Amino acid sequence: MKTPRIEIDLQKIRENTRTLVDLLGCRGITVTGVTKAVCGQPDVAQAMLDGGAVGLADARISNVRRMRDAGITCPISLIRAPMLAEIDDVIRLCDTSYNTELETLVRLSVAAQRLGKEHDVILMVEMGDMREGILPMDVEAIASMVVKMPGIALKGIAANFACLGHDAPTPHAMAVLTRLANEVEGTCGPYISQLSGGSSSGISLALSDVSNGRLNNLRIGEAILLGIDPVTERRIDALHTDAFCLIAEVIETRWKPEKVLAQPLNPIPWALDLSRENSPKLRTVLAVGQQDTTPEGLSFPSQIEFVNATSDHTVVEGNDVRLSVGSEVKMGTNYSALMRAMNAPDVSERLLQMRRHSVPQGHHALRPQLTLVR
């Protein structure tokens, strides 16, 4: 089979989505499945919908187009503010977009009228992540202008946490968003039907006993795909952490000293250096590198350890296991490693379609077993 390849267990993605949809549903919170880490891969997107996600969201219009081309008709939101050159596509392909700039909102309004469509907008509020967002004190003023723009409808307000920074949402932040929603309704009129209070980083607060105000939606990618809370980097109970694995082929395996010195005048330099070396290491080179993934973000089978990687090679070490040339090594991925692999031209995809109910494994699931397949 071709390597490097990413293997995707769709059933685990369905189950992770279902688990979160059920847990958050009890609190009145819906789940929007975020597909950006898999570049809008349509089978993954469909698995999220099958698991009960109310809609999908992606940061890139190209990924949205890929899902639409594959026949996905559910509501899709663009969660990165649109670029001006893609406004028409945003209106055509997305039901909703997240926005922070009046200039962009005006253009959305004009395009929606021209294309004869009604487009929903959500205002993104800056709540401390310091990436995108309208300052809380400006939300009412901008909302009051948006409600006068034909072709677009103000549907909600939202915030983002722990993306650029590392701070998870707080009860205070939810209270502020709730107050903003109430104020916008009071002064501008429209019912703010959606209060989207964050990403996977918001799950633990949403499931805690503290009040979340009017929070009624989370946009979730990482927790569905990898079962991980991005703030703690720990597994979320009852979620699968191994829905994806990256498989690479061994192209060299050899005992190596710490260093081989170049001594051109010595007739047998290798013999000299190797015999002087006390603790040679069994090093293995995998045919995968920075061009295919984020090698530092891979988790290896317990017998081997990551040493370093370059654009096309990843070097691992492990004295207890000798991997023969041509054998395959299966690795877990973090969010960045997954995203890069899903977007890399040389990494192929293999979908595992088995319809079985699988029980999530314990923490050792983060370290997939070594497979030696010829």
Ligand X SMILES: *Cc1c(COP(=O)(O)O)cnc(C)c1O
Residue 319 CB neighbour total at 10 angstroms: 14
> Which contiguous run of DSSP H or E holds residue 277?
none
Taking the least distance from each CB to ligand X, the nearer of 34 and 215 is 34
Candidate residues 219, 240, 330, 340; the one interacting with ligand X per rule CB under 6 A: 219
Q: Which stretch binds ligand X (CB under 6 A): 10-18, 60-68, 221-229, 248-256?
A: 221-229
Write the interaction track for ligand X spanning residues 55-84; mark x where CB under 6 A is met and - where it is not: ----x-------------------x-----
Q: Between 36 and 330, whose beta carbon lies closer to ligand X?
A: 36
Rounded alpha-carbon distances, angstroms, from residue 209 to 162, 183, 203, 256, 373:
21, 25, 12, 55, 48
| Number of residues located near ligand X, criterion CB under 6 A | 14
Which H or E element spans position 113? Answer: helix 102-114
CB of 124 to ligand X, least distance (A): 7
**Closer residue to ligand X, CB minimum distance, 24 or 223:** 223
Q: How far apart are CA 76 and CA 90, in angstroms?
A: 10
Over the window 141 to 180, marking each residue x when it contacts ligand X by CB under 6 A and - when it does not, the resulting string is -------------------x--x-----------------
Q: How far is the CB of 190 from ligand X (least distance, A)?
A: 22
Choosing from 20, 24, 31, 34, the residue that interacts with ligand X (CB under 6 A) is 34
Is residue 106 within 8 A of residue 150, CB to CB? The reply is no
- On whether the CB atoms of residues 373 and 327 are closer than 8 A, the answer is yes
Nearer to ligand X, 87 or 220 (CB): 220
- Tally of CB atoms within 10 A around 85: 8
Q: What is the CA radius of gyration of the chain?
A: 24
Q: Which of 222, 242, 249, 328 binds ligand X (CB under 6 A)?
A: 222
> 59 vs 195, which CB is nearer to ligand X?
59
Shortest Å distance, C-beta 175 to ligand X: 20
Q: Name the segment binding ligand X (CB under 6 A); options: 18-26, 214-222, 248-256, 286-294.
A: 214-222
Q: What is the SS3 assignment for 362?
A: coil
Residues 298 and 316: their CA atoms lie apart, in Å, by 11
Under rule CB under 6 A, which residues in 297-356 are in contact with ligand X?
A: none
Compute φ and ψ for 124, nearest 5 degrees.
-90, 125
To which residue do tokens 């964050």 refer? 198
Tokens of residue 279, six digits: 């603790």
Binding range to ligand X, per CB under 6 A, among 68-76, 222-230, 231-239, 297-305 = 222-230
**Shortest distance, position 339 Cβ to ligand X, whole Å:** 9
By beta-carbon distance, which residue lies closest to ligand X? 221
Residue 220 binding ligand X, by CB under 6 A? yes
DSSP state of 216: -
52 near ligand X, judged by CB under 6 A: no
Q: Should residue 230 be labelled a site residue for ligand X when binding is judged by CB under 6 A?
A: yes
- Exposed, middle or buried: residue 304 (CB in 10 Å: 0-12, 13-18, 19+)? buried
Q: Which stretch binds ligand X (CB under 6 A): 138-146, 165-173, 215-223, 251-259?
A: 215-223
The span from the CA of 359 to the CA of 326, in Å, is 32
Q: Which of 77, 80, 72, 79 is nearest to 96 (CA)?
A: 77
Smallest gap from residue 55 Cβ to ligand X (A): 13
What whole-number distance in Å separates Cα of residue 15 and Cα of residue 247?
Answer: 23
Stretch that binds ligand X, among 166-174, 209-217, 219-227, 294-302 (CB under 6 A): 219-227
Return the residue matching tokens 């499931």.
207
Residue in this structure with the two tokens 């607060």, named with its chain if needed: 205
Q: What is the binding site for ligand X (CB under 6 A)? A: 34, 36, 59, 79, 160, 163, 199-200, 219-223, 230
